Amino acid sequence: MKISLFQGILLGVFCFAAIVGIFVFASFQGGGSSTEEIGTVVIWGALPKAPFDRALTTARQSNTELKSVSYVHKDAEALQSELVSAIAEGIAPDLVLISHEELFALARVIQPISPSLLAERTFKDAFAAGSEIYLISGGSGAYGVPLLIDPLVLFTNRAILASGGIAAAPPSWEAITGLVSRVTSKNPAGNIDRALIALGTYANVSNARGILSALFLQAGVPLSTISSVGARRADLGTSRAEGTPPGAAVVRFYSQFADPSKVSYTWNASLPLSQRYFASGDLALYIGYASEATYFRVANPNLDFDVAPLPQLATGRSKSTYGLMYALVIPRGAANPTGAFKAAAALTDPTLNRAAAAATSLAPAVRSALATPPSEAAAATAYASALYARGWLSPTPTDTDTIFSAMITNVISGRLTIDAALAAAESTLSALLQQ
């Protein structure tokens, strides 16, 4: 196959980068001994600008090679379209900070990192297991350099729990159902005015996509798989040789909290968005990303809350939660791919990785950084949860929300049985994954 001039230049650049990269990833100390400067590197991302700029300021003070690395904030909803346009116009950034939820949609415009730059063994030794979603199958390299993880955790209103005689955050999902009657209260009109947990609906449950993903993954449902011939399809656990299919058990558990006929009823579609409801002090338990601790401290300085690990299945043999896996990827058409790779590698220095985590209220993706958690309680929970956080290769967040929302709405409205709603969701997801 004949390659273009640009492809030839890019190939030459990456051959040179391979020489540098062998050293960089051998020690994960940022490649500071190389005489080749990083140069100007522009990073795009949807994380808030001020925290990430603080992280870069700390990094520049430690590593002067990063002096010309800058960050440009982009709206999450517009990032994909702006990146595609920038590549077409020849003005692509050098790096893009994405979560794994954008990986499927952006894979076609990402320049993969060669295994000579980042071997699979090096990757697995260096980064938390959930970040392996960025590995390309067959040992063919990686889509990006992992940087941060935002795991789902359980926020607890300490005052509400104490008033109900509940001494600690529930460690299991089974324990949660037993707490509904001790916390949920209704006004004289019969409407819920204090809820245990926001589960059962979709539109007013913040992070519903992540919560359902966590429940599926804990139940052993992969959500998406690759066949022996390389075809990707959805797997929502719709079949089982004996007993209830695991996917159906997940949807049944989730939807029961919005069913007025069940003793676990504690939530409905008329209640406010769950994040706001927790901030107002009327929700005992809130499932959110670790980074949301900052929001609650600002939104309600008087809110007495704590952070605990996401509940697990009582019968589960290993812990699991859902998390957003952030990585730095090199887009096609980047002006400085060599410098971009070196900058990404430099930011994985354990000290700098911890500094980036502290600035953004996320957890590091680097294993050695996770090995020394901070003393602050919420951050310590985030670090511990990041070690067992997982994700799945999904369509765009908007598309996944549409599918999951329809599935849950069809169940709680009675329009479809659980099995039928689950099968419809699986079919629609598969169609998107095969595009």
Residues 176 and 262 in one domain: yes
Rounded Cα–Cα distance for residues 357 and 370 (Å): 10
Residue 340 belongs to a domain with what CATH number? 3.40.190.10
157 and 148 in contact (C-beta within 8 Å)? no
Given a cut of 90, whether residue 369 has pLDDT beyond it is yes
Shared-domain flag, residues 65 and 161: no
- If asked whether residues 113 and 186 sit together in one domain, one would say no
Q: 168 with 306: CB under 8 angstroms?
A: no
Per-residue pLDDT, 35:
52
Task: Quote the domain boundaries for residue 421.
Answer: 151-322+395-433
Residues 402 and 359 in one domain: no
* Residue 31: per-residue pLDDT: 40
Interval 64-78 mean pLDDT? 97
Q: Residues 343, 259: one domain?
A: no
C-beta of residue 381 within 8 angstroms of C-beta of residue 307: yes
Reply yes or no on whether the pLDDT at 30 is more than 60: no
What's the chain's average pLDDT?
92
Q: Residue 3: its pLDDT value, please? A: 36
Q: Which helix (H) or strand (E) covers residue 326, if one does?
A: strand 321-329
* pLDDT score at 231: 85
How many structural domains does the chain have? 2
**Residue 305 clears pLDDT 60, i.e. is over it:** yes
Same domain for 259 and 401, yes or no, is yes
Q: How many helices (H) and strands (E) does the chain have?
A: 18, 13
CA neighbor of 255 nearest in space, from 187, 314, 205:
205
Same domain as 364, residue 219:
no
Q: Are residues 101 and 22 in the same domain?
A: yes
Q: Are residues 239 and 311 in the same domain?
A: yes
285 lies in the same domain as 169:
yes
State whether 131 and 174 are in the same domain: no
Is pLDDT of 18 > 70? no
The whole-number pLDDT of residue 23 equals 37
Query: What is the mean pLDDT of the segment spanning 416-425?
Result: 98
Q: Dump pLDDT digits (tens) for 237-274.
A: 998 867 889 999 999 999 999 999 999 999 999 999 99
Tell me how far apart the alpha carbons of residues 86 and 93 are, in angstroms, rounded to a whole number.
8
The answer to whether residues 254 and 371 belong to one domain is no
SS3 content of the chain, % helix, strand, coil (to 5): 45, 20, 35
- Looking at residue 16, what is its pLDDT? 36
Q: What is the pLDDT of residues 134-190, one digit of tens each?
A: 999 888 999 999 999 999 999 999 999 999 999 999 999 999 999 999 999 999 988
User: pTM (2 decimals)?
Assistant: 0.91
